[in-house]
Amino acid sequence: MFLSQLNPEQRENAIACLGNENFDVLVIGGGVNGVGAALDAASRGLKVALIESQDIAAGTSSRSSKLIHGGLRYLEQYDFKLVREALHERELLVSTLCPHLVKPVGFLFPLTEKFRERTYVGAGLALYDALRGFQRALPWHKHLSQKQINEIAPSLRPDIILGAIKYFDAQVDDARHTLSVARTAARHGAIIATRVSAESLIRKGKSVVGVNAKDLVSGKTIAINATVTVMCAGIWSDELHEKFDLKPGYTVTMSKGVHIVLPGSAIKSEAGIILKTPVSVLFIIPWGDKWIVGTTDTPYIGDRAKPLAEHSDVQYILDQANRVLSPELKIADIIGVYAGLRPLVANKKNSATTKLSREHTVDRPAPGFVSVAGGKYTTYRIMSKDVIDLAVNELRKLTSESVTEKLPLVGADGYFALMQQVEQIAEESGLEPDTVTHLLNRYGSMINEIFILIKENATLAKKLSPDLPYIRAEILYSVSHEGAQSVSDVISRRTRISFEAKGHGADLAESVAEIISPVLNWSNKDRKESIAEYKSIVEQELIALGEIKIACEKINS
């Protein structure tokens, strides 16, 4: 019925629709909760629009630990309901909703004591496994001896690590998953427009009946009429509440989470590693031929748009990891650092409009306006359902229940069968089997759309860079089907070149711009400006990384 493509033509049509049609639901925010809410509402048969002032997943939803997990540490807080809920969502994502994007990943929980710790941790992991119910998409945990650990993870110090327990969670490219939710929402009729900013609310008496928005590309103002406005703004919630002159039932505190990226050679292990720290846990996560290590959890009051790591963040990560690793990780090993901000919710006392569901909150500060904040990436679908459940009360008409629990994302259909046909697909397409596997794990059954581009232009089958898995067709596809509008969108979120490549991929910016320019109808000036914009971002990050390394070296000298 509807197409899932996001591209310049689709955006132009979306802008026209925003100003000319009346919507049941208008969603503000293009992070995972926002696109999740748009999908939930659209799949109930409602008329839905979504606006995002930047790019899809431009904020927190592209800067997570890239894990889909139940939250092992919440067991110590006896938060069994939250863990069970998250584990249920993990099983759905791995097995049904998006198996091409969410993959099982094994973790080792190192043990430093032979008996007491093994009994305590083993009991916790047994409960962790049991809480997921009867679904079994991931294996059970198992106990490993010191000899087995030495074979699986030579980098774990044999002088203090006496064994380990291996358990499974899952990982995801967060930005790609968020984009896939957005495209699925579009396929079910949602009107999606990025680079559109919500400026003020349209009111009728005490009720909110829409939003005055600004198209940041053309500069034009758009009056969007909607029966209910749903705000999914994450760390921007307090700022928008103030801007809209609303008194919400909660406030959002920002917590900074920093991760470092290391080459695969820095750690010798066939599995990820999880460590209990004095304040939380630290994950050592395999990511292709690299490692992601993090995260921190510190209060943040700086620029929401540009959270930067500090030397103390990086030193903390190194110190915690080096408690169990040999040889130790060095400052010089780090090839990238990224920081994200968690929206932590605190409910205001005596608020009659707010409902707290463990870690996330839904709120109705005015008739015709609801919001959601907090929570975990893993449980985005439940948060989206909860806020739309509240929103439909404003519609005053019978509305269907949520169906997203059984609604696969675009690309999920037929994925498992396609993975058994990799050799055949490679032979027919002329691509290497590794490249076919790479494409299936990014696009699933939508891989045919990549092949159509290659059929039209055979040069698109070539790799963008010998050191990276991406082919040129993926770069073109990011603007023809995935809504990218800049070099930064492509390098930072449609691919993860920004932290996978040397120098953050700045040397690839011109090649990317050359590929995407025709689809975006760029002039030579537009192309140069987009390249310069991304190189400026990289320069700032490299300067920050250099300063971090110098500061850490001084501390350690």
Summarised one tens digit per residue, pLDDT across range 436-467 is: 999 999 999 999 999 999 999 999 999 999 99
Report which residue type is found at 150: N
Distance (Å, whole) CA 137 – CA 122: 20
> Is the separation of the CB atoms in 103 and 287 below 8 Å?
no
Distances (CA, A) of 496 to 172, 436, 442, 491, 510: 12, 18, 12, 6, 16
Predicted local distance difference test score (pLDDT) of residue 305: 86
Count of residues making up the chain: 557
Distance (Å, whole) CA 367 – CA 47: 19
The residue that leads in pLDDT, 281 or 184, is 184
Distance (Å, whole) CA 244 – CA 255: 24
Q: Beta 250-263 vs 281-287: how paired, if at all?
A: unpaired
Q: What is the pLDDT of residues 285-343, one digit of tens each?
A: 999 999 999 889 888 888 888 888 889 999 999 999 999 999 999 999 998 899 999 99
DSSP string, 128-177: HHHTTTT--SSPPPEEEEHHHHHHH-TTB-TTT--EEEEEEEEE--HHHH
Predicted local distance difference test score (pLDDT) of residue 356: 42
Predicted local distance difference test score (pLDDT) of residue 134: 60
Element (H, E) at 364: strand 360-366
Predicted local distance difference test score (pLDDT) of residue 135: 60
Distance (Å, whole) CA 237 – CA 226: 20
Q: What residues does CATH 1.10.8.870 cover in the chain?
A: 415-547
Report which residue type is found at 557: S
Q: Is the pLDDT of residue 556 over 80?
A: no
Distance (Å, whole) CA 76 – CA 505: 41
Distance (Å, whole) CA 176 – CA 377: 13
Distance (Å, whole) CA 79 – CA 299: 23
User: Which of the four pLDDT bands, split at 50, 70 and 90, describes residue 346?
Assistant: confident
Percent of the chain with pLDDT over 70: 95
User: Which of the four pLDDT bands, split at 50, 70 and 90, describes residue 349?
Assistant: low
| CATH tag, 8-61+176-249+348-406 | 3.50.50.60
Q: What is the pLDDT of residues 498-514, one digit of tens each?
A: 989 888 999 999 999 99
Predicted local distance difference test score (pLDDT) of residue 86: 86
User: What is the tally of helices (H) and strands (E) in the chain?
Assistant: 18, 19
User: Which of the four pLDDT bands, split at 50, 70 and 90, describes residue 132?
Assistant: low
Looking at the DSSP bridge assignments, the partners of residue 261 are 292, 336
Predicted local distance difference test score (pLDDT) of residue 280: 81
Mean pLDDT, rounded, of the chain: 91
Q: What is the pLDDT of residues 234-280, one digit of tens each?
A: 999 999 999 999 999 999 988 899 999 999 999 999 999 999 888 88
Q: What is the pLDDT of residues 19-50, one digit of tens each?
A: 999 999 999 999 999 999 999 999 999 999 99
Predicted local distance difference test score (pLDDT) of residue 353: 43
Q: What's this model's pTM, rounded to 2 decimal places?
A: 0.94
Mean pLDDT to the nearest integer, 150-172: 92
Please count the other Cβ atoms lying within 10 Å of the Cβ belonging to residue 93. Answer: 24
Q: Is the pLDDT of residue 220 over 80?
A: yes
Q: What residues does CATH 3.30.9.10 cover in the chain?
A: 70-170+253-342
User: Which of the four pLDDT bands, split at 50, 70 and 90, describes residue 112?
Assistant: confident
Mean pLDDT to the nearest integer, 362-388: 95
| CATH tag, 70-170+253-342 | 3.30.9.10
Please count the other Cβ atoms lying within 10 Å of the Cβ belonging to residue 219. Answer: 7
Predicted local distance difference test score (pLDDT) of residue 78: 64
Distances (CA, A) of 400 to 43, 86, 131, 385: 9, 24, 29, 12
Predicted local distance difference test score (pLDDT) of residue 1: 58
Q: What residues does CATH 3.50.50.60 cover in the chain?
A: 8-61+176-249+348-406
Mean pLDDT to the nearest integer, 469-486: 98
Distances (CA, A) of 125 to 112, 245, 329, 482: 17, 47, 28, 39
Looking at the DSSP bridge assignments, the partners of residue 213 are 198, 222
Q: Is the pLDDT of residue 354 over 60?
A: no
The alpha carbon dihedral of 383, 385, 388, 390 has a sign of negative
Distance (Å, whole) CA 203 – CA 32: 27
Place of tokens 């169990």: 324
As assigned by CATH, the class of the 415-547 domain is mainly alpha
Predicted local distance difference test score (pLDDT) of residue 357: 43
> Is the separation of the CB atoms in 211 and 70 below 8 Å?
no
> Is the separation of the CB atoms in 101 and 174 below 8 Å?
no
Please count the other Cβ atoms lying within 10 Å of the Cβ belonging to residue 529. Answer: 14
* Report for 174-188, 245-259, 334-348, 529-543: range of highest mean pLDDT: 174-188
